[in-house]
Amino acid sequence: MPETAAVSIRNLSKSFDGTEVLRDVSLEVQPGEVVSILGSSGSGKSTLLRCINWLEQPDRGDIRIAGDRIGVSDSGKPMSRRELAGMRARLGMVFQGFNLWPHLSVLRNVTEAPIHVQGLSKTEADERAMALLEKVGMADKREQYPYTLSGGQKQRVAIARALAMQPKVMLFDEPTSALDPELVGEVLGVIKDLSKEGYTMVLVTHEMEFARAVSDQVVFLDKGIIIEKSHPSEFFENPKTDRVRRFLELEAPAV
């Protein structure tokens, strides 16, 4: 028996106002694997990622997290809010715009969900949060509020916040696209560390070199269809389609 996939997407389709944004997308992410989703703007990368945790509801297809279907309960009915929240807690998401909660300090951003979703005591949650803030290099800023932080610092806190729920899979949607160039490195560094620690990750990015370095699998979306799915060395050195070749020439002329 093969291991249960961390994420398994089967025949996913999604339309917005009659326009098909994802078409029959299937993808498996194995535990410990890092999968990068590439594609030009508007190709459906964010939508695919947001379907995985049901921030967008697919029209067709099914998505399983470690074998359990998200969004639809066993009886075939839509999941209750509580069930859905339980499934989402198993997925960590990092957004392009950080989306920190501005009324909470760095530490409280990280402990909020462990305390109020998982029911951890404050002491336990603080301990877990401090270890994670240490990991992302933000421990000394624990009492500060988000508005005092740089973009790179905010994103590192957002990563710690997601990790604090001990998710099975981390989803990143262009985590460095909103950052000044000199701050990109510190965030990519954290993500790279996570990949070394064996975290399962799905990453939407425009950082080609980075995708090449951390990924086990690269997926290329074109107008909502996966037109290539391969190992990064294969993808970057030997793309199968002209579409990807052109994309790589535009995005990463140096590679």
CA distance 150 to 43: 30
Q: How far is CA 192 from its chain centroid?
A: 13
The two three-digit tokens of residue 60, written as one number: 């067709």
The single residue among 5, 25, 38, 44 that binds ligand ATP, judged by CB under 6 A, is: 44
CB 254: neighbour CB atoms within 10 A?
5
State in angstroms the smallest separation of the CB of 42 from ligand ATP: 4
Q: With residue 213 as reference, give the H or E element that holds it.
A: helix 208-214
Q: Which stretch binds another protein (CB under 8 A): 64-72, 156-164, 193-201, 237-245?
A: 156-164
Q: Which of residues 24-43 bind ligand ATP (CB under 6 A)?
A: 39, 41-43
The single residue among 8, 36, 46, 217 that binds ligand ATP, judged by CB under 6 A, is: 46
**To the nearest 10°, the Cα dihedral for 203, 83, 19, 41?**
-20
State in angstroms the smallest separation of the CB of 121 from ligand ATP: 38
CA distance 49 to 54: 9
The two three-digit tokens of residue 63, written as one number: 């998505």
Which option in ligand ATP, another protein, Mg ion, none does residue 88 bind, with CB closer than 5 to 8 A by kind? another protein
Q: Is 55 in the site for another protein (CB under 8 A)?
A: yes
Strands 217-222 and 60-65: unpaired
Rounded to a whole number of angstroms, the distance between the first and last alpha carbons of the chain is 38
Q: Which of residues 77-136 bind another protein (CB under 8 A)?
A: 81-82, 85-86, 88-93, 95, 97, 99-103, 112-113, 116-118
- Nearer Cβ to Mg ion, position 47 or 111? 47
The single residue among 39, 44, 58, 146 that binds another protein, judged by CB under 8 A, is: 146
> Which residues of this protein are in contact with another protein, per CB under 8 A?
53, 55, 81-82, 85-86, 88-93, 95, 97, 99-103, 112-113, 116-118, 145-147, 158, 161-162, 165
